[in-house]
Amino acid sequence: MSDLFSPLAIGSLELPNRVFMAPLTRMRATAPGDVPNDLMRDYYVQRATAGLVISEGTQISAEGKGYADTPGIHSQEQVAGWRSITDAVHAAGGRMAAQLWHTGRVNHESLHDGALPVSASAVEFRSRTSLKDPDGNVVRANCPTPRALTTDELPRLVDDYRRSARNAREAGFDLVEVHAAHGYLLHQFLAETSNHRTDEYGGSLANRARLLLGVVDAIAGEIGADRVGVRLSPVGSFNGLDSDDDGESGLHVARALAERGTAFLHLSEPDWAGGPSLDDEFRTKLRDAFPGVIVGAGNYDAAKAERLLDAGFIDAAAFGRSFIANPDLPARLEHGLELNPPVPETFYGGGHEGYTDYPAMADAWPPAHIVPSVPT
């Protein structure tokens, strides 16, 4: 058996394989209220054979919402919606983590009654977010320059994360993942280009990491360090934020997480968004910094995952686009079967089309290439 299909323990959670479903924005929550719904339940249940299903980014507060119709985990209605999803995923034999998300400046004032999005600093930057027009069509919009959070707002922000972790436990999630990657709020604090603060949350690397580590500590205090993972993208350029320190801030955070016994570190590699492949030199540094479970993500196929598992650089791999298109991805990878191609036009918004209608192998058995050549 290859490593990808061997079990893995995260804290007290036993995972049957190392093929994870990556967090994927799909913009199909019920509006108003950003409530997880039955369509989302069906989609996640179809993918329950993942070693771990990681939810799409899920806002910790109304303020944290930066895209149209993304789900939240701050209202009781949202918690109930998620509960029905986690119950169904568990009943199908799966395990699920909630990805806790605050988009910060990757945002638009129309989602907040005209109020400006918040960030570490009021720095002009170039990025776009996705909204919906009155007919429900997804439209892209430029993000405005945000306002800087004041120092005395930050304890409230940590509390928002703490409450969302409590809600995630109440909603039946097995783990939470703190989204600190891809140029969203916690990454905006971590990176020098987006953080020009002069208080104890800006300046030195230790200061820039303070909010993220405070959030991790608050969540660990609520649900236990062995139930909290952190997603980082230490190298690359996303959402108008350049990680231009050769990954140093990511390595600093990785060491701090190792000291805290954080359940896992989820590494988003630059090639998910068309950037270069991460080199083995950085992978070695990251492994030295964080001896716990490392989940790799970014344009993975089985061969890339196996090579990095064999080298000891990762312990699991998260698959995004291929999991969108293949609800039974682990079985397909295990048996070397053909993959359905993803259809990018239906990634965001819309209904079941391009969401719950990708066929599993069993729906189309036997796959064309193993049909016996001699008809029986």
State which residue, 57 or 104, has the beta carbon closest to ligand PHB. Answer: 57
Tokens of 314: 């990762």
State which of residues 11, 36, 51, 57 lies at the interface with ligand PHB (CB under 6 A): 57
Q: Binding of ligand PHB at residue 210 (CB under 6 A)? A: no
Task: Report the DSSP beta bridge partners of residue 63.
Answer: none
Q: Binding of ligand PHB at residue 182 (CB under 6 A)? A: yes
Q: Smallest distance from the beta carbon of 258 to ligand PHB, in angstroms?
A: 23
State which residue, 325 or 331, has the beta carbon closest to ligand PHB. Answer: 325
Could you say which of 43, 184, 348, 355 is catalytic?
184
State which residue, 23 or 146, has the beta carbon closest to ligand PHB. Answer: 23
Q: Is 67 a catalytic residue?
A: no
Tokens of 151: 């120092």
* Angle at the Cα of 43 from the Cα atoms of 321 and 227, rounded to 5 degrees: 80
| 327-353 burial code (b ≥16 CB/10 A, e <16) | bbbbbbbbeeeebbebeeebbbbbeee
Binding residue count for ligand PHB, defined by CB under 6 A: 5
Q: Smallest distance from the beta carbon of 199 to ligand PHB, in angstroms?
A: 27
Radius of gyration over every alpha carbon of the chain, rounded to an integer in angstroms: 20
Nearest residue to ligand PHB, scored by beta-carbon proximity: 25
Cα 330 to Cα 16, 171, 309, 320, distances in angstroms:
11, 26, 16, 12
Cα 85 to Cα 43, 89, 191, 247, 276, distances in angstroms:
9, 6, 35, 36, 36
- Count of beta carbons in the 10 Å neighbourhood of residue 259: 9
Q: Binding of ligand PHB at residue 25 (CB under 6 A)? A: yes
Q: Smallest distance from the beta carbon of 25 to ligand PHB, in angstroms?
A: 3
State which residue, 247 or 349, has the beta carbon closest to ligand PHB. Answer: 349
Q: Smallest distance from the beta carbon of 52 to ligand PHB, in angstroms?
A: 17
Active site residues: 184
For binding to ligand PHB (CB under 6 A), which residues are involved? 25, 57, 67, 181-182
